[in-house]
Structure 1
Amino acid sequence: METSVSLLCLPCAGASATMYLRWRRLLPGWIRVVPVELPGRGSRSAESPLRDFDSLVAQVCAEQADAMRGNFAIFGHSMGALLAYGIACRLRTMGRELPVALLASGSSAPSRRDPARFAGKTDDASLIADLRKQGGTPEEVFASAELMRITLDVLGADYRVCEGFRHAGDAPLPVPLHVFAGHHDDIDAERIRAWSAEAGGVFTLDWFDGGHFFIRHQEAAFLAALSQRLGGVVAGGRHATHALA
């Protein structure tokens, strides 16, 4: 029987943690999915979204202190991957318990962020174009002026969070690092492979068909890989060698 693991899941830019709720019934029972809702969306829509990377990381570390004890892992997609990395780094700086694994999806490595990716994207037209390009937003959102306004306000704030990230060049994290990517994402493959420099131990990279939202369009294959990687960690995969799948 597998050792249970709490999997804290951080959403992508402009999204709510509700994007992970369905995983509770799709993943094995030994993985306890913990969707991490950020200010300004979902059940926290009455709050103002934060626009500063370090402030948001510090707030998540404080709010999720109880969940980040014992056997826990941190997963994030796109902006969520960057936040997951920032949280792990902050936990290390604070001398707190580290996750059994860090799982990053659909994101450039922290050292290879494209500073021009978010610059100047503050007007609605640019944000809507980005939503269309990434292909992860339901048509119901585009059809509703109210939902569109909420989404654009959160997305604009999240882009400022991403734009404000600065890579400190810290030592590699002493935890297993598992990265997932889509073959047809517009992120350059070299920027994704560069995650390996952040791994102080085991590193894997799994590729899937599809674009930026391969985690949705290839959900079954992706969740099977995620379960396998986490299973390897709890079975002692922390000591495995680097692997590129």
Structure 2
Amino acid sequence: MFCDSKPLTLFCFPCAGASATTYIRWRKRLPDWINVEPVELPGRGSRITERLIDDYETLVDRLSDELSGALPANYAFFGHSMGALLAYGCAHRLRDRRERSARALLLACCAAPTRRNEERLARLQTDDALLEELKKMNGTPVDVFEHPELLRMTLDLLGADVRICASFRPFDRAPLDVGLHVFGGLDDEIEEERLAAWSIETSAAATLEMFDGGHFFIRDRESDFLAKLRNLLRGFAPFAERESRRAFS
């Protein structure tokens, strides 16, 4: 059961190769009216003993099962890269189940379903290709590359996540009726036009904002990004700033 004691719960879905710990620090950096709820995926972090799931529909079904029936009255989804696809899928699945909708869908560094680069995913089928990808994206701690066992675990996890992304297929469903806010890095290989194409996935308002930095600008430009996130979410939590007792830093 998820905490429902704050005006807004923000469910955060991790990128490929990552775990829920990515978002733990946000609990201290966002105001106390936001309940940051990192979503842990099977086979990593606190769920390390569970079998990895490497199929998109299967994973979305599992996550939706876990969310269904326990959703707070007021919540939003955030997803980074692969996490954006998972947040998007869960939003559709929960709508199919007639669960309460998210107040907003916030997606970073993920091409729209109609503008995905399938050829790139097809190339990431070997350890060498995955290792090169890790180094290129510059989001993996240097220590990982210096410890063979840790690197092996990282490559196995990333390989499973690449298969998740490769198994995704665009939905033949009506657009979501939820505000959709997309973010990108100016130096990321996902071009602005591929991010802007998310706008057709909702019948509500859609926005796009670009930040300095690459694929991991949410980490490298964390203060700027979280300030934007706070301002967007404030509209869904009445009297939020007045109730907040912790200064945003």
Instruction: State the one-letter code of the partner of 1:165.
Output: F
> Once the two structures are aligned, what percentage of the paired residues are identical?
52
Aligned to 1:142: 145
Give the unaligned 5+ runs of structure 1: 236-245
Asked if the contact 2:8–2:236 (Cα under 8 Å) also holds between the matched residues in 1, the reply is no
What does 1:147-186 align with in structure 2 at a 5 Å threshold? Answer: 147-186=150-189
| Cα offset, 1:66, TM superposition | 4.9
> What whole-Å deviation, never above 9, does each CA across 1:169-222 have from its counterpart, x for those lacking one?
422210111111101100122110101111211212111000000000000000
2:127 is aligned, of 124, 127, 139, to 124
RMSD, aligned α-carbons? 1.5
Aligned to 1:239: none
Give the whole-Å Cα distance in 1 for the aligned partners of 2:111 and 2:99. Answer: 26
| Cα offset, 1:122, TM superposition | 2.1
Question: TM-score scaled by structure 1?
Answer: 0.92
What does 1:226-241 align with in structure 2 at a 5 Å threshold? Answer: 226-234=229-237
After TM superposition, the runs of 4+ consecutive aligned structure 1 residues lying more than 6 A away are: none
| Cα offset, 1:65, TM superposition | 2.7
1:68 aligns with 2:71: yes
1:34 aligns with 2:42: no
Of structures 1 and 2, the one scoring higher in RCO (CA 8 A, sep 6+) is 2
Q: Which deviates more, 135-144 or 62-71?
A: 62-71
Give the unaligned 5+ runs of structure 2: 1-5, 239-249
Give the whole-Å Cα distance in 1 for the aligned partners of 2:213 and 2:139. Answer: 12
Instruction: State the one-letter code of the partner of 2:154.
Output: T
Give the whole-Å Cα distance in 2 for the aligned partners of 1:195 and 1:148. Answer: 34
Aligned to 1:194: 197
Instruction: State the one-letter code of the partner of 1:196.
Output: S
Question: TM-score scaled by structure 2?
Answer: 0.90
> What whole-Å deviation, never above 9, does each CA across 1:38-80 have from its counterpart, x for those lacking one?
0111111122210110110010011123552311111100000
Q: How many residues align?
A: 234
The change in CA–CA distance for 1:12 and 1:85 in structure 2 (over 3 A counts) is same
